[in-house]
Amino acid sequence: MRQTRTRLSASLVVSSLLAAPAISGEITVYSALEDEEIAAYLEAAQEAMPDLTVNVLRLSTGNLGARLIAEAGNPQADVLWGFAVTNILNPAIYDLLDTYAPESIDDLPEQFRDADNRWFAPIGYMGAFCVNTMRLEQIGAPMPQSWADLTDPAFEGEIVMPDPGSSGTGFLQISAILQGAGEEAGWQLIQDLDPNMAQYTTSGSRPCRMAQVGEYTVGASLSFVAMQGIEQGFPLEMVIPSDFAGFELEANALIRGSSNAEDARRFLDWTLSESAAQVYSENKALITLPGVPRSPLAAQAGLPDDLSEVLFPMDFATSGAQRDAIIERWRELVGR
């Protein structure tokens, strides 16, 4: 586990957050959640479970999936936390998960949990454009409202988006375009966007952070990163694409063969608790647990109360089944 410890120290040293004087349990958690989210959630988890030490390895969605598959013969983690459902549906990953129904699982609508209790998703994320309004004015381009608008030559070299092969955010964006426009028109739109792309990042949040500081005009990224930037006072406007606003569910699961299964189940129970829901409401735009109030950041950024008004109805099973083929095709056409 030396590599895991090294990555922890570089990304998020969670042991120090959740260590207690009298330790009764310790688990290793793999997560694709953003660092800021993990820190906020674990602060609440510490209050609820002060006797549990949680060691978290945070990786991008694509890298985490590859690690899980590589460790299939000798699992190194106990819990999978905040991982894209599209990726979980990959049989090579799905088969690594054990069945577990948390205490409050019946509170979660059926469409947000696995019929065989291999995973459940109390939260999700949605794609959004982070538009730097000052830079937009400088280049003289109109405010983009759709993916099609981003093909305007005025945006040449002014857009950044995530690589769908390494980022779950990038993959949901490409999937939404293909499902919404159809294969032929969708791939054509993706190719038409490419000349305006300055780069494709490995992180789903980085495009927004690059736009907020004025490196580029538009970062195709995540809604919650846009909401954070607006709240922090950056010259940002969040735009939910009017044509294909993709979203993804972030699922939790017990990894088969866990040597700390009892404590892993405690942690999974907590992720559906009122304690966790309170922190979700402060950080997420998409929460599947009933009765959780909308984030103040979401209201400030102008998200509607009913997200079904803006979200494209994603077919996660299709996305999961076609993931490898989509990524291969994307790399053939526009990958750099």
On whether the CB atoms of residues 112 and 270 are closer than 8 A, the answer is no
Determine the average pLDDT of the residues in 1-6: 34
How does pLDDT run across 207-224, given as a tens digit for each residue?
999 999 999 999 999 888
What pLDDT sits at residue 303? 73
Provide the mean pLDDT of the chain: 89
**How much is the average pLDDT of 165-171?**
90
Residue 2 pLDDT greater than 80, yes or no: no
Query: Matching CATH topology for 2-124+248-296 and 125-247+301-333?
Result: yes
**Domain covering 125-247+301-333: architecture:** 3-Layer(aba) Sandwich (3.40)
Q: What is the pLDDT of residue 133?
A: 98
pLDDT tens for each residue of 57-66: 999 888 999 9
Domain ranges of the chain: 2-124+248-296, 125-247+301-333
Counting every residue, how long is the chain?
336
User: How many other CB atoms sit within 10 Å of the CB of residue 1?
Assistant: 11
Confidence of residue 5 (pLDDT cuts 50, 70, 90): very low
pLDDT over 70 at 1, yes or no: no
Residue percentage of the chain with pLDDT more than 90: 67
Tokens of 26: 């310790």
Give the whole-angstrom CA distance, residue 7 versus residue 11: 6
Bridge partners, 56 (sequence order): 29
Helix (H) or strand (E) holding 53: strand 52-58
Say how far apart CA 179 and CA 187 lie, in whole Å.
10
Q: What's 206-235 look like in SS3?
A: HHHHHHHCCCCCEEEEEHHHHHHHHHCCCC
The rounded distance, in Å, linking the Cα atoms of 203 and 167 is 6
The pLDDT of residue 8: 33
Can you give the pLDDT at residue 317? 86
Helix, strand, or coil (residue 264) = helix
Residue 277: pLDDT band (50, 70, 90) is: very high
- The pLDDT of residue 83 is 96
Per-residue pLDDT band for 7 (boundaries 50, 70, 90) equals very low
pLDDT at 16: 39
Cα separation, 10 vs 123, in Å, equals 26
Query: What mean pLDDT do residues 238-259 have?
Result: 93
Strand partners, 80: 30, 253
Quote the CATH superfamily of domain 2-124+248-296.
Periplasmic binding protein-like II (3.40.190.10)
Does the pLDDT at position 178 exceed 90? yes
Q: What is the mean pLDDT of residues 28-39?
A: 93
pLDDT at 28: 98
What b-and-e string marks burial along 141-163, b requiring 16 or more CB atoms within 10 Å of the CB? beebebbbbbbeeebeebbbbbb
More confident residue, 280 or 308: 280
